[in-house]
């Protein structure tokens, strides 16, 4: 199956969203980077991470960022299409880390595609609502976003995510619990976690 660029993914999502009807709470299904990677990977291709995502972040590091987080558990439902994962339960929520082969590409564009899961997709400016921050000194390239729910701005739910790339390996950490705190502190915390991830990626 031919590889699809994230720009195409974003375009398809926005075009689909523009034609949605129904209540304001109805949302189109969003293709996140890991899900899109699964869509273009060869069926039966095993996950290739040299280090499992659960070993990329120490449980203590996750707990420091999100108090109450439990020990990481493998989340390899998509291993057959090259995506390995880990989840750290936190109360009714979860922190997740997914790792996959992605090849060269724009981390910013792919992180923006991931950010569509927290915005009002019916807005014509949906693709630009989330503030993407570039994080230097982490792997080959890294970026993050932290957004608190804000209906006036088109943010339908709080979310925070970090993406790190080393070579052709990419990791995405979703840690929404940080979104409801101070944004600067959240980004600083994510930078520490990103440095830890990059060292094992």
Domain regions of the chain by residue span: 6-200
Checking DSSP bridges between strand 141-147 and strand 73-74, what pairing results, if any?
Answer: unpaired
183 Ramachandran zone, left/alpha/beta (phi>0; psi -120 to 50): alpha
User: Which pTM does this prediction carry?
Assistant: 0.76
pLDDT at 64: 96
Residue 163 corresponds to which tokens in the numbers above? 């993406």
- Cβ count within 10 A of residue 149: 13
pLDDT at residue 34 in the model:
55
What is the distance between the alpha carbons of residues 60 and 126, in angstroms, rounded to a whole number? 36
Would you say 172 and 57 are in contact if contact means Cβ atoms under 8 Å apart?
no
List the beta strands (DSSP E) in the chain: 73-74, 84-90, 93-101, 133-134, 141-147, 159-166, 169-174
Going residue by residue through the chain, which has 201 residues, state the pLDDT in tens, using 9 for 90 and above.
333 333 334 443 443 444 443 444 444 444 455 544 444 444 444 444 478 999 999 999 999 999 999 999 999 888 888 899 999 999 989 999 999 988 766 898 889 999 999 999 999 999 899 999 999 999 999 999 999 999 999 999 999 999 999 988 999 999 999 999 999 999 999 999 999 999 998
pLDDT at 158: 96
Tokens of 150: 């804000």
Token pair for residue 126? 């949906």
Q: Which residues contact 58 (CB under 8 A, 6 or more apart)?
A: 196
């Amino acid at each position: 199956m031919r590889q699809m660029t994230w720009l195409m993914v974003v375009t398809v999502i926005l075009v689909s969203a523009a034609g949605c009807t129904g209540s304001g709470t109805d949302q189109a299904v969003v293709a996140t980077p890991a899900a899109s990677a699964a869509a273009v990977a060869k069926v039966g291709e095993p996950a290739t991470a040299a280090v499992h995502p659960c070993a990329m972040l120490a449980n203590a590091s996750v707990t420091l960022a999100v108090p109450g987080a439990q020990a990481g558990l493998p989340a390899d439902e998509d291993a057959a299409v090259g995506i390995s994962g880990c989840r750290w339960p936190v109360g009714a929520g979860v922190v997740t880390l997914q790792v996959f082969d992605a090849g060269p590409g724009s981390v910013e564009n792919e992180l923006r595609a991931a950010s569509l899961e927290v915005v009002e997709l019916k807005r014509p400016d949906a693709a630009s609502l989330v503030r993407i921050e570039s994080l230097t000194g982490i792997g080959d390239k890294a970026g993050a976003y932290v957004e608190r729910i804000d209906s006036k701005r088109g943010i339908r739910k709080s979310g925070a995510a970090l993406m790190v790339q080393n070579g052709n390996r990419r990791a995405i950490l979703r840690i929404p619990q940080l979104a409801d705190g101070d944004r600067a502190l959240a980004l600083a915390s994510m930078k520490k976690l990103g440095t830890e991830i990059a060292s094992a990626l």
